[in-house]
Structure 1
Amino acid sequence: MSASMQRLEEVLGEPDRVVVPPPWDRSAAETGIVLPQDYRAFVDRYGSVRICNDLLVWSPSIQFDPHGFEKFVRASRFAEEDILLAYEDKEEDIPFEVHPAPGGLLAWANNSKGDYCFWHMVGEDPEAWPVVVWIQDDFKWDVVDATTTEFLADVITGSYGLANDILTRIQGAPLWKHEGDWTGRF
């Protein structure tokens, strides 16, 4: 287990159930994309989760679609639509393109306010992809040189500068809850 995954597990605690992990070897075959290892380790341990009843960390799933990895990648199109709607006639101000554009963004989390977390798919090594955060209300983009699990731990602990923008802490809400796994079960 990586140090960042261990730190995140210390923050989140033990999962309350065993999840069915995705068959990661199918990802490259279905989409041509190998997702970052620390993200895969997180999903293998926790599945898809909602943090503080707000930030949803996505996970590939075959619920409603037998092509779970393709569905996961296609979900970035919803993020792209939200970005285009927000920028209306100012598309030239959008600093990134979304996958399938070469070096584009691939979404992996969002919150109730329409903010998104992406990987910036620059280079061949998914372990080197930075996290990109888009805060919709402020048209704010932030590139974070961190792995997925480092970033999530920093958001949850509040050490990431925009943590309060992307994570609304609801009084009495659980720190996290299971939202699904490869099979889609909750």
Structure 2
Amino acid sequence: MTALDDLKQLLPPPAGYGRTFDWTAVEKRLGVTEIPQDFKLLFEAYGDIRFCNRLHMFRPSANEYIDLADVTFASRVHLAAEDIGDPPTRIPPGVSVTPATLIQWGASFGGCYALWDAHDPNPDRWTLVFTDADQIQWGYYDGTVTNYLVDWLTGRFTPIPMWTLRPGIRPDIEFYDPNDPYGPTITDQVEATYVIP
């Protein structure tokens, strides 16, 4: 089974919400050979969703606030600001946190960043990088977004404290209008059968 199979088993995507996008323009603007395939398959399976009312993901769009390239370029400016945050003290070998090579694939509603370290031309070798809005806490995950989601939602991995899910809750997903991410959900929440220990 793949990580996407595990995620679908944990949080089954209702039929009809998956979306297919043309990623070519975004990839060209970001100067990468390809956005990781697992990330594209997440949208094909789930469409626009929020995980645990906390994490949403970016994708190709005419809306600059949800377009993967536009969001990335805006976040690079913020991440490069010298008057914000602290540089990370422990960076895994082979990982870069240089803003010019980071791609923001997701965010929390509190402004935390979910990024790829895309300095390697092979997207299969990209590391996930996490930091809070103030760039004080940093975390890393050596794997795909889909692997990370399964590990995060089952309580096996938390990159930094603000991503910790409370014990005794069931992870969930919400479907929403990406042009109004703070608005009402399109459907009811889908809850996992798994409870965070």
- Superposition TM-score, scaled by structure 2 size: 0.70
In the alignment, which residue of structure 2 is the partner of 1:96? 97
1:74 and 2:74 correspond? no
- The question of whether the paired residues in 2 share the 8 Å contact of 1:19 and 1:45 is answered with yes
User: Could you tell me whether the CA contact under 8 Å between 1:54 and 1:112 is conserved in 2?
Assistant: yes
**SS at structure 1 position matched to 2:176:** strand
What amino acid does structure 2 have at the position aligned with 1:96? V
Deviation at 1:133, TM superposition (A): 0.9
Structure 1, residues 14-70: CA drift from partner, whole Å, max 9, x if none? Answer: 2353333102344444543310010011111112211111111222223x46xx99x
Answer with 18-27 or 33-42: which moved more.
18-27
> What pairs with 1:11-22 in structure 2 (closer than 5 Å)?
11-22=10-21
How many aligned residue pairs are there? 173
In structure 1, the gaps of 5 or more residues are none
CA distance, structure 1, for counterparts of residue 54 and residue 136 of structure 2: 19
The aligned runs of 1:119-134 (5 Å cut-off) are 119-134=116-131
Instruction: State whether residues 38 and 145 of structure 2, in contact with CA within 8 Å, keep that contact through their aligned partners in structure 1.
Output: yes
Return the letter of the residue paired with 2:45.
R
Q: Does 1:159 align with 2:192?
A: no
Contact 1:131 1:145 in 2 (8 A): yes
- Cα distance in 1 for partners of 2:48, 2:118 equals 21
Range with bigger deviation, 18-27 or 52-61: 18-27
Distance 1:82 1:4, change over 3 A: same
> Which shows bigger deviation, 23-32 or 71-80?
23-32
User: What fraction of aligned residue pairs are identical, expressed as a percent?
Assistant: 21
Alignment partners' CA distance in 1, 2:171 and 2:148: 19
User: Aligned residue for 2:192?
Assistant: none
AA aligned opposite 2:162? D
Unaligned runs of 5+ in 2: 89-95, 187-197
CA-based RMSD: 3.4
- How far is 1:114 from its partner? 1.7
TM-superposed deviation, 1:125: 0.8
* TM-score, scaled to structure 1: 0.74
CA distance in 1, matches of 2:97, 2:148: 20
SS of the residue corresponding to residue 13 of structure 2 reads: coil
Q: Distance between the aligned counterparts of 1:130 and 1:14, measured in 2?
A: 26
Decide whether the 8 Å contact of 2:36 with 2:123 is kept in 1. Answer: yes
Q: Spell out structure 1 runs of 4+ moving beyond 6 A.
A: 171-174
Residue 87 of structure 2 is aligned to residue 113 of structure 1: no
Q: Offset of 1:82 from its aligned partner?
A: 4.3
- Displacement of 1:110: 0.8
1:143 paired residue number:
140
Alpha-carbon offset, residue 12 of structure 1: 1.6
CA distance in 1, matches of 2:55, 2:143: 18
Q: Which residue of 2 aligns with 1:52?
A: 52
Partners of 1:42 and 1:90 in 2: how far apart?
Answer: 31
Distance 2:113 2:84 in 1: 21
Cα distance in 2 for partners of 1:180, 1:89 equals: 31
User: Secondary structure at the residue paired with 1:9?
Assistant: helix
